[in-house]
Structure 1
Amino acid sequence: MDGDLGDFLRSRRARIRPEEVGLPSHGRRRVPGLRREEVAQLAGVSVDYYIRLEQGRGPGGPSRTKSGGVSDAVLDAVARVLRLDETERAYLHAVARPRRQARRPDRPRVRPAVQLMIDAMDRSPAFVLDRRMTVLAWNPVADAVFGYSRATDEARSIPRYVFLDPAARDFYPEWPAVAAQSVAHLRILAAHHQEDRELTSLVGELSLKSEDFRRLWADHQVKECAYGVKRLQHPVAGLLVFPYETLTIPGDGDQSLLVYTPEPGSETEERLALLGSWASSPAR
């Protein structure tokens, strides 16, 4: 994913007007936002230094992956000038200074104790994701909602399902928001795992096959999907509304646990109970 650093910085420069940071606009500009020279001036670095940073090169000239010479102070200064939020600032550090990571198994395994824990959540759909947003494990009530046990490995990839399966647009009534959220989170994962070839291949595949993905990926939005509310239009149970939380599994930062918990006494809770009974019925 070469060029992500430069594209990200340019996209953030473009959204800031000169007058917002106390600079004269100098009339009409060829491109919106701040010039590279202005970012360098406000960040307190030389223009040449900032240009090399935006081109993805270290301050000494060689590739940034070899030099590793961009300091926290410089990145924080640039983040301040570009008015990055906390998530965007963390993304800038990750993509500007990729860290070599220990090789992980291509097919990570979920610890048995984690499976026991989610199985005990009999009223909350819960499942485990890997660093590529692929579902690794789930409990019975999640299977009743999402049908993971009947899906192929590729179909359990959330980005592939969202962008490549037409059924996703019916399943997610708020599909545009879900799609944007998926891309924003996938971009964060890609920044932190730049040596993951399967993750890079996933981004390439979706870019080739989905115009919506290409458009959203080019926006360079980054956003954590830690919690929120998800609306699902289930073909049997109807509309399900779930508050959800995302937790990092201790001892394995590459895996996360998503738990969808219906509001007590809600229609979703009632429908989920009926769906669970239907799914476990032998007559099904």
Structure 2
Amino acid sequence: MNRKPRLGEFLRTRRAQLRPADVGIPDFGERRRVPGLRRDELARLAGVGLSYYTRLEQGSSLNASPEVLDALARALGLDEVERAHLHDLAGAARRVTTRRRPAPERVGDATRQLLAALGDAPALVLGRRSDVLAWNRTGHALFAGHLEARIPEQPDLRPNMARLVFLDAHTRDLFVDWPKKARNVVGKLRLAAGQHPDDPRLASLIGELTMNSPEFAMMWAEHGVRKWALATYRMHHPVVGRMELNLQSLPVPQEDGQRIVVATAGADTASAAALSLLARPDIPAPARPDIGTPTAVST
């Protein structure tokens, strides 16, 4: 990932998404040559000089202070997650590091104990790149029963949830709310890219998805960031049918970027009954799609 322009790309994209009326600038019917706000308008709203702001967008100035970044965040109307992402991008642009291949992520003993303690509640452990590091039996049956159950134990073959959502036919059909799920996945990858700009495996994953999924490329270009802790999805499992599930994401203590995702359903609902059926040890595995299923993970 080229770190230097990414702060400027984020600023330009968010500036283009703001209309003058959104920030109280009167519109006298003039024909504007650029979408959204002009550079001088945003600089004025943030209280910074135009030439300085221009250098930030162009990547020729890398010394934006936290106060300037907060002022830009306020002018752009960023929420707390987006503001933190802006600071991450600015910090990454200033750092000079040497790329090295990171060690494979691993699941600690305490995390495996927690996964086992969840019983039949579908759960999986995701790494900072959204690689599936582990899952319990029901989590495997819910999210990827068409894949081998022990595949997360092989670092070079681990499934990746972003790749599954965009490139795997089974997973795409699983989420009735696929656009919602897809945008959440892209937003989480955006956050990860800001926090880990020198991760070559993450860069490789983003490049692969951009090349192979026009939908990913379009969403990635929007520079949306998401940090969801709870999301509700309508899902259609090929074996147990329709469900409405709450997916809760819980950070794993002392493990950078790892999180446990747990699926639950309302008590005494058809969705809860479907999850109970899915937890049975004799539940059949879904048929494997002929195309679209990744066979290896290169991230």
**What TM-score, normalized to structure 1?**
0.88
- Per-residue deviation, residues 91-121 of structure 1 (Å, max 9, x unmatched): 1111111267997853111012211211121
- Give the structure 2 partner of residue 159 of structure 1: 162
Aligned mate of 2:89, from 83, 95, 98: 95
Q: What is the distance in 2 between the residues matched to 1:234 and 1:216?
A: 25
Unaligned runs of 5+ in 1: 59-63
1:38 to 1:116, Cα distance in 2 relative to 1, 3 A: same
Question: Do the aligned partners of 1:233 and 1:240 also contact (CA within 8 Å) in 2?
Answer: yes
Identity %: 44
Q: What is the distance in 2 between the residues matched to 1:51 and 1:184?
A: 26
Is 1:49 aligned with 2:41? no
Is 1:139 aligned with 2:136? yes
Question: Do the aligned partners of 1:188 and 1:223 also contact (CA within 8 Å) in 2?
Answer: yes
Question: Do the aligned partners of 1:100 and 1:195 also contact (CA within 8 Å) in 2?
Answer: no
Matches within 5 A, 1:226-241: 226-241=229-244
Aligned mate of 1:18, from 17, 20, 38: 20
1:21 to 1:242, Cα distance in 2 relative to 1, 3 A: closer
Question: Do the aligned partners of 2:164 and 2:172 also contact (CA within 8 Å) in 1?
Answer: no
- Give the structure 1 partner of residue 291 of structure 2: none
Question: Do the aligned partners of 1:56 and 1:96 also contact (CA within 8 Å) in 2?
Answer: no
Q: What is the distance in 1 between the residues matched to 2:31 and 2:102?
A: 53
Aligned mate of 2:258, from 255, 264, 275: 255
Paired residues, number = 272
Q: Tell me: higher relative CO, structure 1 or 2? Use CA pairs within 8 A at least 6 residues apart.
A: 2
Q: Which AA in structure 1 matches 2:141? A: A
| Structure 1 residue 280, shift from structure 2 partner | 6.7
Aligned mate of 1:115, from 109, 112, 118: 112
Is 1:175 aligned with 2:178? yes
Q: Which AA in structure 2 matches 1:18? A: P
**What TM-score, normalized to structure 2?**
0.84
- Give the structure 2 partner of residue 61 of structure 1: none
Aligned mate of 1:186, from 189, 205, 209: 189
Is 1:126 aligned with 2:123? yes
| Structure 1 residue 212, shift from structure 2 partner | 0.7
